[in-house]
Amino acid sequence: MANSESRLPPGQRERPDFPRFGLGSFASRFPPEPERMRLSIGGKVGQPMEIGALDAALPRSEQLSDFHCVTGWSSRSLRWGGVRFADFHREIVLPQCTPAADCQWVVLKGADGYRSILLLDDLLAGDVLLADTLDGRPLGVDHGAPLRIVAPAHYGYKNVKHLSAIEYWPDRSRYRFPRPYPQFMDHPRARVAHQERGQFFPPGLLLGFYRLLVPSSVNRSARALRKYMQKRNKQG
- Residues forming the site for ligand MTE (CB under 6 A): 18-23, 26, 69, 110, 112, 114, 143-144, 156-157, 159-162
For the chain, the straight-line distance linking the first and the last C-alpha, in angstroms and rounded, comes to 41
State the binding partner of 144 from ligand MTE, Mo ion, none, CB within 5 to 8 A by kind. Answer: ligand MTE
Distance set, CA 11 to CA 70, 122, 162 (Å):
9, 22, 28
Whichever of 21 and 169 has its CB closer to ligand MTE, that residue is 21
Find which of ligand MTE, Mo ion, none residue 109 binds, CB within 5 to 8 Å per kind: none
Residues that bind Mo ion (CB under 5 A): 69-70, 156-157
| Partner from ligand MTE, Mo ion, none contacting 22, C-beta within 5 to 8 A by type | ligand MTE
Q: Which is nearer to Mo ion, 103 or 222 (CB)?
A: 222
Residue 56: count of CB within 10 angstroms of its CB: 6
Q: Could you tell me the smallest distance in angstroms from the CB atom of residue 96 to Mo ion? A: 32
Judge if the upstream peptide bond of residue 138 is cis by omega within 30 degrees of 0: no
Which lies closer to ligand MTE via its Cβ, residue 92 or residue 131?
131
Cβ 196 to Mo ion shortest distance, Å: 13
132, 6 Cβ separation under 8 angstroms = no
9 upstream amide cis, omega within 30 of 0: no
Length of the chain: 236
